[in-house]
Structure 1
Amino acid sequence: METCLTGTVRLTVRKDMRLAMPRAENASHWIAMGMHEDLDDAARQALREMIDLIVEVAGLSRQDACSLCSLAADLRVTQIVDGNKGIHCMLPKSALLA
């Protein structure tokens, strides 16, 4: 795991979950990740992972989750090192409360 931050991190192993990619959350956002050698494919993967997360957490349909991502999610570049590109998709938790 690569990171540049100062703080306390708690990692939790969830044997009851099967995830294709890592997920994260902080006080304000749900975070889904995508990795691929092509940045566009990494973005698609991160978005699909976020849609899966929304369906699980909020019980929305995939179509409604996709619409929510279109309105409220933000894609950010995670890495572009060693031929691998990473994108993380951030959705404010407040978007699921409205």
Structure 2
Amino acid sequence: MLKDGSLSRYRCHTGHAYSTDSLLASVTESIEDNLWNVIRGIEESIMMLNNTGDHHAEQNDPKLAAQYFQKAKEAGDRLQVLKDMVAINEPLSMERISGDGS
């Protein structure tokens, strides 16, 4: 952290400088982007698990099909937790933290 009078600035290892607000905004945006990437990955795995379960059901292997469907359900439960997290994630700023922003 660098002090410039009453302002605080942050500098990364490559030399880019950020104000507290811009760094907070960047970090929260990155977190949200990463959460959406994880959500997409889990959605894709759920589709794959269900498709594989369908395949085993068509091949008259209901026990194995049920195992794939169960894993898809478990992944869906975890997915809902992540979606709930994204829904309550908020962009951070000095105003929001100090209570001056809505």
TM-score range, shorter chain: under 0.3
TM-score norm. by structure 1 comes to 0.26
Structure with greater helix percent: 2
Larger radius of gyration: 2
Structure with greater strand percent: 1
